Chain A
Amino acid sequence: AAGVIQSPRHLIKEKRETATLKCYPIPRHDTVYWYQQGPGQDPQFLISFYEKMQSDKGSIPDRFSAQQFSDYHSELNMSSLELGDSALYFCASSSHLNREQYFGPGTRLTVT
């Protein structure tokens, strides 16, 4: 079965640079979620979108923004990167009819 696709899988950036992470949800899923997982920590919710509208917001810094497009894929844009942004970024998707979220393989971002 098709899963959530994330790209890139690994990304190395320098401080103050920008990064864009992409997420392609499971076909027919209409809701996308972004999570950040630091080393040794549990995933922290950043933001979610349902039918291209922001549906909920968590601990997402103002330097980050995200959107969901008409084909339901989503992009997380990160600017003025800081060392503390180094983490695994997971995208998950679900149908609004069912709260079960399925996670992509993640993007490992390293800020140097």
Chain B
Amino acid sequence: RKEVEQDPGPFNVPEGATVAFNCTYSNSASQSFFWYRQDCRKEPKLLMSVYSSGNEDGRFTAQLNRASQYISLLIRDSKLSDSATYLCVVNRNDYKLSFGAGTTVTVRA
């Protein structure tokens, strides 16, 4: 079983729509949480860190539920440029990141 499990999608949404998806992590010792986005054949790019209190960055809102060990990402007012694979990433008290398999989002005109 993977350490980080993600809703694979794909999520096909029209421009302007709201899309949300989750991931779960198995190691309760995990300490840091992130969402990255990855476009085809390119490097993962840090979208946002996820804090216990939840955080928002423009149209993106991330939530962390430590008790249930899940993380969510919500995208409001979707743009065509939001089409990508979103990677849920977890870091324990060490140096390596554990990646989920990614959630594919396609925003259509």
Contacts and interface: CB of A to CB of B under 8 A. Distances in A.
Contacts, number: 48
Given A41-B101, A55-B94, A104-B43, 13 more contacts: A42-B99, A43-B44, A45-B96, A45-B98, A48-B95, A55-B95, A56-B95, A90-B43, A100-B49, A101-B46, A103-B45, A105-B42, A106-B42
Interface of B: 31-32, 34, 41-46, 49, 87, 91, 94-102
Nearest to B49: A100
Interface residues of A, number: 24
Contact of A101 (B41, B94, B97, B102): B97
Q: Tell me the interface secondary structure of chain A in the complex.
A: strand
Q: Can you list the 9 inter-chain pairs with the closest CB atoms, starting with the nearest? A: A45-B96, A42-B99, A103-B43, A56-B95, A48-B95, A99-B32, A55-B95, A103-B44, A42-B101
